[in-house]
Structure 1
Amino acid sequence: MSDEKIDLLVVVEGEKQPRLVASRPEATVKEVLGLVAEGTGRADLVEVFLEDGDEPLIAERAIRDILKELDKLLHVATAGLVKVTVEYAQKSVSRTFRPSATMERIIRWAIQPNELAVAAPVEDLQLKLGKDVVPADTHLGQVTHGHKAVTFQLVFKVKPQG
């Protein structure tokens, strides 16, 4: 067994900033989950996803193999889905997402013709939570603070005139 360590960038549900987790390269998903739970003191963290992933990663799979295949962040989350509601122009749509979903993914879903039918490029839109704009690369679990329901407002980005 090697003493070699790798640093994993992990987004933890309920935390605004990603954290670095030092792990053995041959560690399994389950072992990485244990490291994160230990580092956060949270026993409620039970699932690991890739960014925008819909299915939890297999617990016995080696983290090194997963990260070789895909260049995505790991997201550690509590069990369950988050009900997301997006409001725009006096209409709203709702569906569930995993906490690993990015705001960009949620916008792409919300503007579809069978949802809010907003005819604008994703790049021109953003989500607000209360008065705060949420960056497109933010994970849902970073803004829900452990709640399993959230409502965003879809707004156009302000473009400077000049």
Structure 2
Amino acid sequence: MTDNDDEDTQMSADSIDFFIHVGHQPPRLVEARDDDLLEAVLWREGVALDADVHMIVGADDEEEGVDAEPLAPGLTVGGAGLKRHGHLHCQRCRRIQVSVNYQSRTEQETFSPTAPIRRVRRWAQKIFGLTGPAAGDFVLQLCGSDVDAGLQQRLAEFVRDHTCSACFDFSKEVTPQG
């Protein structure tokens, strides 16, 4: 066994893998040690931080009503509370203003950028009074398009051009007949 084999074994034994979300890009899986500084991990991964970028840890399956706060600089991976397959969001927006259109009505609410789309959909179902099995037939689509927002996707993936806002149409899902 070489010294490099020892280092590889050591890194794997003491490291965790987690997802980094930057803007509206797809998340990337990275590996880091528990005692690595978050800023160093992000730099290694080519993520540029500045005073306008907030680091926010999001749970894999955020509870209704949970809004994570931005992290203070200088934290380690472990100190930030990141766990295996956790999510670290690097966002310019602390909150995202969401508009949802349904029939002739538009409703707005603010959410954390880490909020999963399923949370926004639950809010829309409630605010528009859609209940029962039929409520599950509705999807959020980007305004003016036929692009469905996946329930597992994070709200920040739908923010463009530093607007800190997102717009969706609440539409009945089209299912092929066959």
Specify which of 138, 146, 152 is matched with residue 137 of structure 1: 152
1:95 Cα deviation after fit = 0.8
2:158 paired with 1:152: no
1:16-63: CA deviation from partner (whole Å, max 9, x where unpaired): x11123311233xxx225532562224232221214450226544716
1:89: which partner in 2? 103
1:124 Cα deviation after fit = 2.0
Question: Counterparts of 2:173 and 2:100 in 1: how far apart (Å)?
Answer: 16
Question: Counterparts of 1:78 and 1:119 in 2: how far apart (Å)?
Answer: 35
Q: Which runs of 5+ in 2 are unaligned?
A: 1-6
Specify which of 46, 49, 53 is matched with residue 45 of structure 1: 53
Q: Which runs of 5+ in 1 are unaligned?
A: none
TM-score, scaled relative to structure 1:
0.77
2:133 paired with 1:117: no
Moved more, 129-138 or 40-49: 40-49
Aligned length: 153
1:26: which partner in 2? 35
1:56-111: CA deviation from partner (whole Å, max 9, x where unpaired): 2654471685426xx64332322421110111011111110111111111010111
2:42 paired with 1:36: yes
Question: Counterparts of 2:42 and 2:136 in 1: how far apart (Å)?
Answer: 33
TM-score, scaled relative to structure 2:
0.71
Give the secondary-structure state (helix, strand or coil) at the position aligned to 1:150: strand
